[in-house]
Structure 1
Amino acid sequence: MTVADVPTLSYDPFTTNDPDERYAQYRELRAAGPVVHLSYVGVYATGRYDEVKAALGEHDTFISGEGVGFNDIANDVVRGSTLGSDSPEHEVLRGVVATGLQPRAMRARHDEIAEIARGVVGTALARGDVDGVAHLAQAMPTAVVPDILGLPDRHRDELITWAKGGTDLLGPVNERTPRNAELSGCISQFAVELVEGREFAPGSLGDQVLSAADRGEIAPEKCVILMNDYLGPSMETTATAIGHLLVLFAQHPEQWEALRAQPGLVGSAINEVLRFQSPVRGFTRVARRDTALGGILIPAGARLWTVVASANRDERHWNNPDVFDFRRNPIDHLAFGYGSHGCAGQGVARLEMHALIHALLDSVERFELTAAPVVAPNSMLNTWDSVPLRLVPRGE
């Protein structure tokens, strides 16, 4: 096989949080080659769809057990979790995590989650002018996920803040790192309290994790690690996606009107939101051996950033990728990852978003931005800090 020299880019991809500036960087990344070396942060990166999907699918070559972030602090935190483990440990842990997230279990919660969504939307409508992040995007998973996990009442409103800090911690060390480490520690301490006190509701996902340890399927010390897996990603990424949904339909009122006329396309709309504004930029992997990706040699031990947010806008794979169109239905988007490390909780996230959109379709004529949305500083998430929004009820 002929292996080409790796192109090099010298910019720092973590100096901006602005989504438009990041997408401009992704275009430069894709144009430079199938794989590039980002000299400023010292990692390889791939932003093209085919190469990102291939790397994520080759889990025995591009491994997660050395951590999936950009610094040793974060990689030590996630090592041994479902996010930061390899075969055969990963399959065992994922099996425990996924047991309570199977489609049948989630379908049984359909009516309950739909009722929660109607309540969230009703409360927001009563306000009129809202922060779309606090009153809708975060309110929905905060009302759903803790009960699925079987959590007690305390700290529920803090979980998303803690989780965002934990995800941001995965980026290169910066001025936010000490605070992010503190926030990540809050999740870990809460997980310790929950496991040691066996505080989960009977039959909940948390209770199932403890039962797996009682049966000897996993080591007892893995319970805290698995609860960290649940408590973080299960909430912040869904809230981020809902925030983008609100902004996109506020910016494209004609598409909201069209979706109201075609509610059967809600699933398509969800896929397009996730493709167009991927909540997570992408995690890293480590090459287990010398390997070629897209004709570029990646040496053993090198860290590779799989930039799914770029892949989901790759013009080689999508027609008019920088155009938002809820009818597109990009079922092969990579926002939930791909392969053995694909998001185990995506069924819950889809169910939440599906229920919330239907509740909004039933009650909201249109969304109006009352000020510019404010970007949240985060190295790994593409997310909003606030979305000033007016909800116009149907019939007005």
Structure 2
Amino acid sequence: MAVVPTTDIDMFATSDQRARYEQYRQLREVGAVVRLPGLDAYAITRYAEVKAALADHVSYISGEGVGFNSELNQLIRGTTIASDPPEHDLLRSVVGPGLTPRVVRARTEEIAQKARSLVAEVVSRAEIEGVAELAEAMPMSVIPDFLGLPDRNRDQLYEWAKVGTDMLGPVTERTPHNLEMAALSFQFNHELAANREVAPGSICDDMLKAADRGVIPREKCPLLFIDYLGPSLETTAAAIGHLLVVFAERPDQWAALRAEPRLVGSTINELVRFESPFRGFTRVAAHDTELGGVTIPRGARVWPLTASANRDERKWEHADEFDFRRNPIDHLGFGYGTHGCAGQGVARVELHALIHALLESVERFELTGDPVIAENSMVNTYAEIPVRLVARNAA
């Protein structure tokens, strides 16, 4: 086995996606597996090796936490994202029935109507702040109802979602605020579980009923609520934000897509490949493993960088170019293997509905200022996108 290459690149020096993509490129050049002494971790950088690691939940386990913050790792152990089979399979079986293709299809028209209403509203205003008024608004109109959450505190849900992903990274100057928001979120979700303050027949109701039957411990329910709420809000919103910027910068591709709306599915896959919302959850090596021609020692924290894999030149021709016709169906933006995103079906329906509504109503997107990148350790997203939506009948 070769010696593991090492680099002193600071993977948390910036949230700027262009700078991060340059870091990923440098890492891929260094090796498929690269030691990061500053994080005491091994980055997995290339597509083939990232996919192999995600597929091998026996060698690379999630039950010891999936971030770089040891306290948070301890707190989230035993949730779906931070557990291993058979516990993970049990937890997914509790939530799974509410996320099956049949259930999601049954709500497709409802979601499409929400998308049409939202798009009509923002197009009527023309100039909007694209993150709050569109990117965040779309999943917020769908996910809380899907999970069965009450009306109270809905204005706080997205803020709570953002801090959860940011806390997966190392401690930063944002940590005190994140801890304050996380405490409020935990309190709210404990109240929901204790008071059964969820809609009958919803996903959260299914969790509580599973606890009633003794399938899962009741104390897991609040964390499981958070487990599904945060990622389902933030990653979808991130994708919508990138949709606005990508097509504002490529008006020719938006015009072409308007002429070929059947390629919306391809567009979603390319969008999630090109601007992967999430950088990648960490794992821990359960034993000495061989990957990418090197040995990763037992107990080492590994970081399969899905965002890097999705830009790997070894896998994708012209990987740094966006092409809505590419249809990269094997991208890793929704994860892969046992821990593949359970809610990706809902996310795809949301994105499909929103893009179709925009195609029907918007001639083009025009940035009216520079988008502001959100400071987040693990998510690639925007804080603000000043944009003008030029209506088709006004072009």
Aligned equivalent of 1:360: 358
Q: What CA distance in whole angstroms lies between the structure 1 residues aligned with 2:290 and 2:360?
A: 51
Among residues 217, 224, 227, which one is paired with 1:226 in the alignment? Answer: 224
Aligned-residue offset at 1:321 = 0.3
**Uncovered stretches (5+) of structure 1, i.e. residues with no partner:** none
1:80 aligns with 2:107: no
Aligned equivalent of 1:259: 257
Aligned-residue offset at 1:97 = 1.7
Bigger drift between 121-130 and 383-392 goes to: 121-130
Number of aligned residue pairs:
394
Aligned equivalent of 2:174: 176
1:281 aligns with 2:279: yes
Aligned equivalent of 2:139: 141
Among residues 129, 132, 136, which one is paired with 2:130 in the alignment? Answer: 132
Aligned equivalent of 2:100: 102
Q: What CA distance in whole angstroms lies between the structure 1 residues aligned with 2:390 and 2:75?
A: 44
Contact in 2 for aligned 1:188/1:224 (Cα 8 Å): yes
Aligned equivalent of 1:189: 187
Q: The residue matched to 2:225 in structure 1 has which SS?
A: helix
Q: What CA distance in whole angstroms lies between the structure 2 residues aligned with 1:329 and 1:167?
A: 28
Q: 1:239-258, aligned counterparts within 5 Å? A: 239-258=237-256
1:165 aligns with 2:145: no
Aligned equivalent of 1:292: 290
Q: What CA distance in whole angstroms lies between the structure 1 residues aligned with 2:239 and 2:360?
A: 20
- Identity over aligned pairs, percent: 62
1:331 aligns with 2:329: yes
Aligned equivalent of 2:32: 34
Aligned-residue offset at 1:56 = 0.6
Aligned-residue offset at 1:212 = 1.1
Q: The residue matched to 2:314 in structure 1 has which SS?
A: coil
Q: Deviations over 1:75-130 (max 9, x none)?
A: 02221100000111000001112210000000000110000001111111121110
Among residues 366, 371, 374, which one is paired with 1:373 in the alignment? Answer: 371
Q: 1:149-160, aligned counterparts within 5 Å? A: 149-160=147-158
Report the residue type matching 2:296 in the other structure. I
Among residues 295, 300, 308, which one is paired with 1:302 in the alignment? Answer: 300
1:52 aligns with 2:21: no
Report the residue type matching 1:178 in the other structure. P
Aligned-residue offset at 1:235 = 0.5
Aligned equivalent of 1:392: 390
Q: What CA distance in whole angstroms lies between the structure 2 residues aligned with 1:249 and 1:125?
A: 16
Aligned-residue offset at 1:243 = 0.4
Bigger drift between 151-160 and 20-29 goes to: 151-160
Contact in 2 for aligned 1:195/1:223 (Cα 8 Å): yes
Aligned equivalent of 1:112: 110
Aligned-residue offset at 1:185 = 2.1
Contact in 2 for aligned 1:110/1:351 (Cα 8 Å): yes
Tell me the TM-score normalised to structure 1 length.
Answer: 0.98
Q: The residue matched to 1:9 in structure 2 has which SS?
A: coil
Find runs of 4+ consecutive structure 1 residues off by over 4 angstroms. Answer: none
Q: What CA distance in whole angstroms lies between the structure 1 residues aligned with 2:234 and 2:367?
A: 22
Q: Deviations over 1:12-54 (max 9, x none)?
A: 1101111111000000000001101011221110110001000
Q: What CA distance in whole angstroms lies between the structure 2 residues aligned with 1:223 and 1:166?
A: 17
Among residues 218, 235, 238, which one is paired with 1:237 in the alignment? Answer: 235
Aligned equivalent of 1:350: 348
Bigger drift between 151-160 and 21-30 goes to: 151-160
Q: What CA distance in whole angstroms lies between the structure 2 residues aligned with 1:159 and 1:296?
A: 43
Among residues 215, 218, 221, which one is paired with 1:217 in the alignment? Answer: 215
Aligned-residue offset at 1:232 = 0.9
Aligned-residue offset at 1:178 = 1.7
Q: What CA distance in whole angstroms lies between the structure 1 residues aligned with 2:74 and 2:234?
A: 21
Q: What CA distance in whole angstroms lies between the structure 2 residues aligned with 1:231 and 1:33?
A: 35
Aligned-residue offset at 1:151 = 0.9
Q: Deviations over 1:350-393 (max 9, x none)?
A: 00000000110111111000001000000100010000000000
Q: What CA distance in whole angstroms lies between the structure 2 residues aligned with 1:14 and 1:273?
A: 23
Aligned-residue offset at 1:157 = 2.2
Q: The residue matched to 1:188 in structure 2 has which SS?
A: helix
**Uncovered stretches (5+) of structure 2, i.e. residues with no partner:** none
